[in-house]
A and B are shown apart, each in its own frame.
Chain A
Amino acid sequence: MTAAVELFVRRLEGLKTEVCRVAASGVAAAVAGACAARGIGRLGVPPGLPAEWRPAGVHVVEDHDLAPAELDALGAALTGCTLAIAETGSLVLAAGPADGRRALSLVPDAYLCVVREDQVEPDLPAAMLRIAGLIREQGRPVVFVSGPSATSDIELQRVEGVHGPRQLVVLLVS
């Protein structure tokens, strides 16, 4: 494991994010396990999600322009990402085929994201170099996700889970 990946894992854990380390062949089983542990029956995925990540035993719903209310009825969403940032524990979604629409990774109450170790950039400037190309050339919308949704608006006490997903699970593929 490289230093960047090690830092990434440490940061995710600091951000109340569950990290499952899996082999490339074990993603689907790990997703099935994470869904079973949470009682998730319906799992939204982008149409471009690799077939080998899709779990058995869970009803998988492809997001073909699902309406907001339909997204709300999903138990969880599963996507890939474009890259990740170790320094800040961030997942970067940039409308790639496995990243899905932004609404998919936002509305369901749990969010599962697959990150390959070779996608982990050490810090923000390194990540920005790659993101900048996608914005300049293709005008891609980009979202950085660092931990679950949270608020500190009442007496600065941190509360996890406001409007975005309350649970964040990262499946880190070595």
Chain B
Amino acid sequence: MSRGHPHDFPAAAREALADAQLRANLRGATQTIRARRATAVAELPDFEELREQARRVKDDALGRLDELLDEFQAAAEAAGARVHRAPDAAAANDIVAGIARDHGVTELVKMKSLATDEIGLDAALATAGVEAVETDLAELIVQLAGDTASHILVPAVHYSRGQVRDLFQRTIAQGRELSDDPHELAEVSRLYLRERFLRARMGVIGANVGVAETGTVCVVENEGNGRMCTTLPPLLVTVMGIEKVLPTLEDLGLLLRLLPRSATGERMSSYVSLLTGVMPGDGPQEYHIVLLDNGRRNVLADPVGRQALRCIRCSACLNVCPVYSRVGGHAYGSIYPGPIGAILTPQLWGMEEHAKLPFASSLCGACADVCPVGIDIPEVLLHLRARAVREQAPAPEKALFAAAAWAFGSPRSFDAAQKAGRAAEAPLSRGGLIRRLPAPLAGWTKGRDLRPVARETFREWWTRERGGETP
């Protein structure tokens, strides 16, 4: 995810806001999915209790992550899987490319997986001479367009049906006329992918949950492309973030009650697969699991920020966010956009490059209200803002806040600052408001007006009315 220079969220957001089609696509999609989620969650009488349980289960697991990863590895290997540990993206890509190379595989089928998007696996495989075919409809759209995902759950949410039709006509329909009916467009992708599924010799998937006690990997999906990937090829690879591990199958059951309802607003996704090693005569006979760190231990080291690792990637926080639902996912410059991305991305891959993301929020708190694992996103946003200021603030800003600290430090300095302010701002005030501050302070008034210091402050009024009495 490193691009070598700081990501400029405000600039990217301005660009996105100028795209009327994008704003219309996003508005429609986020409103629809919000309503579906609200209905599905309201149906659970004990949602609050369930999410409190889920919060505790995830925190417990993160608190003894190494122990659980060892347990997961031992159980998965006992069931016939091979487990690899990848400290970073390059190591994970090498492992997967190496497995393909060892088996002479040049084409493989992929299930939608954020972990593999995060490490840029498709590009790394292409370099190694292996074509990775994305089989989730939205991922296929994004791949064919040479684009990147803009939503955790619905990666092509920024496309309208007309845009998908145009794209498919140009690519997989080979010039054939198509309508913009989603049924017809889905059918085109079904036909295109079916022959690839039937001939596939290797599948690559992510993981929604890993279960330590049995070494089980759980994947959740609706289209059936995941079942194709996990069942038909003789060789299967899972790339799983280390934070996905939970202690027991009962814990998995708990998360499965929360995830589909929070994500798509369904009681259960169409297909949930629980894969435990290798089953002779059924499905892949060789199974590799790559446990991916790639910055996760950095997050774990921060006592406030680590709660971001509870995330189960449901994307409910994106859909309710007033910022995300207007600017979309690309503005965040990360595979993890929206409120969760604003706290996850800088922690995973460094404040230097992503220092502006914790500020990409109005702190309205809607994200925390819907989070099924109780991540207090505003708390972490504020914590990261403080870190960004400590680690990143330019010298003039630091000087300014030092001056403010002095001014607020005693009644006498406060009085003096008010008097000085009144004199300095006089030429700027128009009709009782300051609409534009000069150069170094101009950023403050770009999005808001400033009230000038009162002609007579409360303290001055008190002194005039009550003589020398202290208020």
Contact = CB atoms under 8 A, between A and B. Distances in A.
Given A106-B228, A154-B185, A163-B197, A128 B273 contact: no
Contact of B273 (A124, A142, A165): A142
A163 B190 contact: yes
Contacts of B213: 136
Interface string B239-283: 000000000111011101100000010111111111111010111
A44 interface: no
Given A155-B28, A163-B197, A144 B268 contact: yes
Interface in B181-196: 182-183, 185-186, 189-190, 193-194
Contacts, number: 176
Nearest to B214: A135
A151 interface: yes
Contacts of B231: 101-103, 106
Contacts of A127: 253
Contacts of A11: 267
A19 B160 CA distance: 35
A140 B283 CA distance: 11
Nearest to A166: B190
Interface size class of chain B, counting residues whose CB lies under 8 Å from the partner chain: 35 or more
Interface stretch (A20-28, A32-40, A64-72): A64-72
Q: Please indicate which of the listed interface residues A88, A127, A165 has the most CB atoms of chain B within 10 Å of its own CB.
A: A88
Contacts of B232: 68, 103, 107
B257 A124 contact: yes
Interface string A123-142: 01101110110011001111
B163 to A, nearest CB: 10
Closest 9 CB pairs of A and B: A164-B224, A128-B253, A163-B224, A88-B268, A149-B224, A153-B138, A144-B272, A142-B274, A153-B137
24 contacts: A72-B194, A88-B267, A88-B268, A95-B282, A101-B282, A103-B231, A106-B228, A128-B252, A132-B248, A139-B277, A141-B283, A146-B268, A146-B271, A153-B138, A154-B156, A156-B29, A156-B33, A156-B157, A161-B190, A163-B135, A163-B193, A163-B197, A163-B224, A163-B225
